[in-house]
Structure 1
Amino acid sequence: MHIALREVHDSDLPVFFRQMNDPEALHMAAFTAKDPADRDAFDAHWKRIRSSAGVLNRTVLADGDVVGHAAVYGEPGEREVTYWIDRAYWGRGIATAALRALLTEVPERPLHARAAADNAGSVRVLEKCGFRVGGHDRGFANARGEEIDELVLTLEG
């Protein structure tokens, strides 16, 4: 399977919206929008981040199909990575390949990431890409309606 990143196109947004409303994926991601089904809020969020000079957004393609997105955002020295892969494609190495490709576009270090402590798949992806657990936190997870444990990971230079 060929994995590639490209700029986000307007036509990707309906696909992202559908992907980000999968109940199982929402549970695993945990730290999501308050109401992922609110299309107006989704559109406003994507309009804001797509116009922000401090955010690098990419669409993830697998053999040409839109299967998710990946991004780097935040202030220098505190920048974080994030990604979302359609659940139908989990377990195929796509998130790892996409994150590795994103990291080649962003040479600055350190980079940070956060994941629900029980999201073993996401933690594994981050560790395969060189991130190391450097801390623990607790935060309110909208998708679960409660505070949960979170891992804080860092990729050093």
Structure 2
Amino acid sequence: MEITLRDVQAEDLDQFFAFQQDADAAHMAGFAPTNPKDRSIFDHHWGELLNDKKSLVRTIDVDGQAAGSIAVFRDGDIHEVMFWTDKQFWGNGVTTTAFDQFLEEFTERPLRARVVTDNMGTLKILESRDFKEIGEEQVFSNARAQVVTEKLFELAH
């Protein structure tokens, strides 16, 4: 299995939109748009992300297939990383490998991440890459229709 990162191509967006429809994955991530089936909202969000010169966005590619996305964006003065991997690739190192490649490409620090407290896979990746927990926030999760606790992490070096 060859795992690489590449620039997002137009056809990747169709795949990302399909990934967003997976209720289990949205639940695990803890976030989703109010209406995940609304393609215009999805296109607006991705258009802003891809056109933001302060963001770095990559497709996670597995053997020539879009398997997910990883991006860093600015939240005020802080860079924040987010990623999404299609459920069929969970548990076999795809996200971990892609995340390591991304950390090699994007070297600005500090770098923050947030994760719902029961998303064990993401917690494991962040903690094993020296991200340190710096706080928690209570946020409303559209995907879960309830308030959830997100842990905030930071990679300082």
Q: Give me the TM-score of the superposition, normalised by structure 2.
A: 0.96
Percent of aligned pairs sharing the same letter: 38
- Aligned partner of 2:91 in structure 1 is 91
| Separation in 1, partners of 2:44, 2:75 | 21
Say yes or no: does 1:107 pair with 2:107. Answer: yes
| Separation in 2, partners of 1:64, 1:129 | 26
3-state SS in 2 of match to 1:79: strand
Taking structure 1 as reference, are residues 76 and 147 closer, same or farther at Cα in structure 2, changes over 3 Å only?
closer
- Aligned partner of 1:136 in structure 2 is 136
- Aligned partner of 2:6 in structure 1 is 6
- Aligned partner of 1:47 in structure 2 is 47
In the alignment, residue 21 of structure 1 is paired with which amino acid?
Q
- Aligned partner of 1:79 in structure 2 is 79
Assess if the C-alpha contact under 8 Å between 1:77 and 1:110 holds in 2: no
Write out the 4+ residue segments of structure 1 that deviate beyond 6 Å after TM superposition: none
| Separation in 1, partners of 2:60, 2:76 | 24
3-state SS in 2 of match to 1:88: helix
Cα root mean square deviation, aligned: 1.2
Gaps in structure 2 of 5+ consecutive residues: none
Q: CA deviation at 1:76?
A: 6.8
Taking structure 1 as reference, are residues 25 and 107 closer, same or farther at Cα in structure 2, changes over 3 Å only?
same
- Aligned partner of 1:66 in structure 2 is 66
- Aligned partner of 2:37 in structure 1 is 37
Taking structure 1 as reference, are residues 88 and 148 closer, same or farther at Cα in structure 2, changes over 3 Å only?
same
| Separation in 2, partners of 1:85, 1:5 | 12
